Amino acid sequence: MQCIVADSGPLIALAGVELLHLPTALFESAFITEAVLAESLGDIHRPGAAPILEAVSAGLIEVGPVLRRAREKGYFLGDALIRQMELLANE
């Protein structure tokens, strides 16, 4: 199983060139955090914002706590990444 965790910059870039389907074409799942969604949709009139909202609504991109969802689906993120995410979550 493979997943991708996207940040707002690449997500907005993919939306701008109409390639938001690409992450789920290459990976089983695509995740973003609530913060990435908020940054991507900060201004709904910003280029790429509407397609991102549509992709989330259609289920192409899942939104939520990445670490929890990755563990639920049985993904291995790597010990260093997991540790860093746990440290950030406890701040």
Ramachandran region, residue 59 (left: φ > 0; alpha: ψ -120 to 50; beta: rest) = left
pTM: 0.70
pLDDT value at 72 more than 70 = no
Q: What mean pLDDT do residues 50-72 have? A: 83
Residue 57 and residue 41: Cα distance in Å, rounded? 13
**pLDDT tens-digit map of 5-36:** 788 888 888 898 998 888 888 888 888 888 88
Are 85 and 66 in contact, with CB atoms under 8 Å apart? yes
Q: What mean pLDDT do residues 50-73 have? A: 82
